Amino acid sequence: MRLRLGILDAEDEVKRSFKREQSSILAFAVLTILAWQTQTGTMLLLPFTLLSTWWHEMAHGLIAAALGAEFERLVIYANGSGYAAYSGRLWGIEQALVAAAGLLGPTLAGCALIIAARSRWATRWALFALGAALLASTIIWVRSLTGWLVLPAFALAAFYIALRGNAKWQRIAVEFLGVQGAVSVYQDIGYLFSPGGEVGGSTVPSDTGQIAAALVLPYWFWGGLITVAIVLMVWKSLRIASRN
């Protein structure tokens, strides 16, 4: 009987530990979103700002390639902006899918990382997979000095934690990076809820602006719908990750 009670107490402590970790990660995610809305905050969080750009632009490029276009290059600027260049003809609905991928793709990948935290095996392989993706994308598509410097550094950090970190820190790293990927779309909320913005000194339509052009409804509708979808996906993934 005492052994059974001891096991139950241990399980309760694990659950409480998960909840504390996830609360801290969510709190930092909220603070990150708020900081990103200021120039000072963006610079203070520059490594994660650049990582969020990678999440976003990689999703654009990969979906464009999946739809038949050629993903040519990914450029990340030191100020946190960037773009994915691709060539080939895409129809209006396909362009809308590419635009939506940049907003929802990072959240899907981030949620997959969060769910991977359920087991030690999945956590370690998630870190290896993320590191490999960062290195592969740097070699194949990245064509900017900032990307060449920052992305391999994140890859090496992921490999190091996977190989040398204990179970707790591996889990925290995966959940943290997962949430960062999930909220990367909010690097610039003004851009999400606007018809266009400035990238590399040129004015271009926003992702929600491109979706609106293809699907009729206004950009702010799509910005709101995507926000609701992201909140629900992150909430559900955290719930799944906290289960035994």
User: Which carries the bigger pLDDT value, residue 192 or residue 131?
Assistant: 131
Cα–Cα dist 212/150, whole Å: 33
115: in domain:
yes
Asked if residue 10 has pLDDT above 70, the reply is: no
Cα–Cα dist 210/193, whole Å: 12
Which of 38-47, 126-135, 197-206, 219-228 comes out lowest in average pLDDT? 197-206
What's the pLDDT at 70? 95
SS (H, E, C) 171-237: HHHHHHHHHHHHCHHHHHHHHHCCCEEEECCEEEECHHHHHHHHHCCCHHHHHHHHHHHHHHHHHHH
Q: How many domains does the chain have?
A: 1
The arithmetic mean of pLDDT across residues 56-85, rounded, is 93
- Judge whether 51 and 150 are in contact, CB under 8 Å: yes
Cβ-based neighbour number of residue 117 at 10 Å: 27
Q: How far is CA 144 from CA 31, 52, 237, in A?
A: 28, 16, 33
7: in domain:
no
Asked if residue 240 has pLDDT above 90, the reply is: no
Q: What percent of the chain has pLDDT over 70?
A: 88
8 falls in which pLDDT band (50, 70, 90)?
Answer: very low
6: in domain:
no
User: Which carries the bigger pLDDT value, residue 243 or residue 83?
Assistant: 83
Q: What is the span of the domain harbouring residue 59?
A: 21-242
pTM attached to this predicted model: 0.84
Question: The tokens 């070699």 sit on which residue?
Answer: 139
150: in domain:
yes
User: Which carries the bigger pLDDT value, residue 235 or residue 241?
Assistant: 235
What's the pLDDT at 216? 82
143 falls in which pLDDT band (50, 70, 90)?
Answer: very high
Cβ-based neighbour number of residue 68 at 10 Å: 11
What's the pLDDT at 13? 58
Which of 5-19, 63-77, 113-127, 216-230 comes out lowest in average pLDDT? 5-19
